[in-house]
């Protein structure tokens, strides 16, 4: 089972790759997924 922590790590890694590749649209989509994953936890963790 994938924990929330693992999912956040994976999304951060994917977002970083997209940012470095210059794919802005997909990068922003990954950031949105990351935000939603973090916001769905026990409180809002930003950073």
Return the sign of the alpha-carbon dihedral for residues 36, 2, 6, 42: positive
- What span, in angstroms and rounded, lies between the C-alpha atoms of 27 and 12? 10
Sorted by where each begins, the domain ranges of the chain are 4-39
- Classify residue 30 by burial, with Cβ atoms within 10 Å: 0-12, 13-18, 19+: buried
- What span, in angstroms and rounded, lies between the C-alpha atoms of 7 and 20? 20
Query: Per residue in 1-47, pLDDT tens?
Result: 778 889 999 999 999 999 999 999 999 999 999 998 887 765 555 55
């Amino acid at each position: 089972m994938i924990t929330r922590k693992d999912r956040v790590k994976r999304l951060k890694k994917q977002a970083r790759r997209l940012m470095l590749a210059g794919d802005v649209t997909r990068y922003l989509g990954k950031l949105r997924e990351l935000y939603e994953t973090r916001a769905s936890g026990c409180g809002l963790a930003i950073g």
